[in-house]
């Protein structure tokens, strides 16, 4: 119990050190699902994601997201669910560096910030009336626009398992805006 509590406190301490970001993205999706006797696939525009991310250890982010897929707008099938993610920025820092020395302020911001990450996600599918969960991977890039604004592109692949022999694969390509807090 003490080791778990120490680890949790260490994580919270690390998370509170860096910059926070929120973002909203929209884009295209591809979904394939398999059951014991049937399979189906669907793709198109209608994937939406809202995320909150917090920098830790300078090159990492920990965050939460919520994803919705609305096939054919509001009239079609839908899926939705939360996720927990960790992103790693191998070539840059996860957020901007701010330096202050007396009356001189300096901000270091890279124009391109590529990242890779993993996520643990859950989805509920309206048509199947079933829940799925899985571990996904994502690759993306943040393009610096202004002091605390970025354009984000992201490719997400999420293989999931559901009830019994049900499985699904979700692939999303999203473009969005990031706000540094």
Token code pair at residue 140 = 């993306």
pLDDT digit string (tens) for 136-147? Answer: 999 999 999 988
| CA distance linking residue 162 with residue 167, whole number of Å | 5
Token code pair at residue 167 = 């499985």
At 148, the pLDDT band (50, 70, 90 cuts) reads confident
9 within 8 A of 3, measured Cβ to Cβ = no
CATH number for the segment(s) 2-180: 2.40.160.20
Token code pair at residue 129 = 């009336």
The ranges assigned to domains in the chain are 2-180
pLDDT digit string (tens) for 13-72? Answer: 555 567 899 999 999 999 988 887 888 888 999 999 999 999 888 889 999 999 999 987
Residue 34 phi/psi, 5-degree rounding, is -130, 135
Token code pair at residue 14 = 């690390």
């Amino acid at each position: 119990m003490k080791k778990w509590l120490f680890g949790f406190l260490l994580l919270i301490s690390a998370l509170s050190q860096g910059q926070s970001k929120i973002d909203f993205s929209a884009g295209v999706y591809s979904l394939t699902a398999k059951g014991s006797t049937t399979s189906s696939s669907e793709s198109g525009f209608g994937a939406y994601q809202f995320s909150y991310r917090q920098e830790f250890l300078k090159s990492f982010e920990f965050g939460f997201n919520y994803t919705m897929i609305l096939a054919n707008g509001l009239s079609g099938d839908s899926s939705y669910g939360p996720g927990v993610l960790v992103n790693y920025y191998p070539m840059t820092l996860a957020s901007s560096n701010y330096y202050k020395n007396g009356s001189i302020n300096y901000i270091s911001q890279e124009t391109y910030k590529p990242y890779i990450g993993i996520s643990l996600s859950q989805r509920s599918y309206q048509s199947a009336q079933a829940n799925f969960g899985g571990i996904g991977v994502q690759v993306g890039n943040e393009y610096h626009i202004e002091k605390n604004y970025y354009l984000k592109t992201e490719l997400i692949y999420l293989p999931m398992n559901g009830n019994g022999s049900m499985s699904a694969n979700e692939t999303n390509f999203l473009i969005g805006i990031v706000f540094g807090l």
